Structure 1
Amino acid sequence: MVDGSSVIDVFIEAINTREAGARTALLRRSLTADVVFWGPLGRRVGRQAVEDFITEVVQGHPAGPCRFSRTTGVDAPEEWARFGWRFEGGDGVPLLTGMDVVHLTPRGAIDQIVVFAGTLN
């Protein structure tokens, strides 16, 4: 079984990496080329689409430089995993929290990401 925590932490490192080449390398280690990303702004397909989202929405946020962090352990029954997260501005103030659910391939990469942003009422 794949260690979901490791690949998720590589993905989070990619989100927080400001240097484009290093971010691309980390995304190659953590995501499949055809990853499906269900985010707050809709569905995107492909590693490049996820990288564009990170560059535009996360790295380009007006409260930047922003930081994304995992706030819970990784719950990974079989090939599915979930974890809580926090997105905070450069001053450390939380901007958004939520939970992601990811699907892990047998080789240890993420091929699906579903983002649940905000609290559930």
Structure 2
Amino acid sequence: MNDELHARAVDTFIEAANASDPERRAALLGRALTDDIVFWGPLGRGVGREAVEDFISEVVQRHPSGACRMVRTTRVDAPDEWARYGWRYESATGEALLSGMDTIHVTPEGGIDEIVVFAGPLT
């Protein structure tokens, strides 16, 4: 495994989170995630690509501030099959609304099969 493979999967996932068209989002998630992905998000645990798609549609895409986007803020650090990266959720004007770090597990084929979301600063 290498950082480039992980970064490609992460960037495709973030592109999917920012896609407003549901068909494009589904296609991008199909490239980035395995069918049986385990997603540990701020609202709990979900299994399957549909759970991730539902989270994006219902939480990320419907923010009260209007059009928002996810941005990767760090390089993807991938010591082996696990990786981590920083992110920011920002308004259309670039105002940071939330930031955090995700830890992911990537299969040898390059699909993310587990995401653990850590949102907000550690205090």
1:6-36 deviation line (CA, Å, top 9, x unaligned): 1110000000010000000000000001100
1:71 matched residue in structure 2: 73
2:33 matched residue in structure 1: 31
Shift of 1:90: 2.3
**Which stretches in structure 2 are left out of the alignment for 5+ residues?**
none
**Which stretches in structure 1 are left out of the alignment for 5+ residues?**
none
2:106 matched residue in structure 1: 104
1:116 matched residue in structure 2: 118
Report the Cα distance in structure 2 between the residues aligned to 1:48 and 1:65, rounded to whole angstroms.
Answer: 22
After superposing on structure 2, the runs of 4+ consecutive aligned residues of structure 1 that deviate more than 6 Å are: none
Shift of 1:91: 2.6
1:61 matched residue in structure 2: 63
Query: For this pair of structures, how many residues does the alignment match?
Result: 121
Look up the equivalent residue of 2:64 and give its one-letter code: P
The two structures have a TM-score, normalised by structure 2, of: 0.96
1:47-95 deviation line (CA, Å, top 9, x unaligned): 0010000000000111120100000000001100000000012232111
Report the Cα distance in structure 2 between the residues aligned to 1:45 and 1:90, rounded to whole angstroms.
Answer: 30
Report the Cα distance in structure 2 between the residues aligned to 1:99 and 1:64, rounded to whole angstroms.
Answer: 23
Cα RMSD, aligned residues only: 0.8
The two structures have a TM-score, normalised by structure 1, of: 0.97
Report the Cα distance in structure 1 between the residues aligned to 2:66 and 2:16, rounded to whole angstroms.
Answer: 16
The sequence identity of aligned pairs, in percent, is 62
Report the Cα distance in structure 2 between the residues aligned to 1:64 and 1:49, rounded to whole angstroms.
Answer: 22
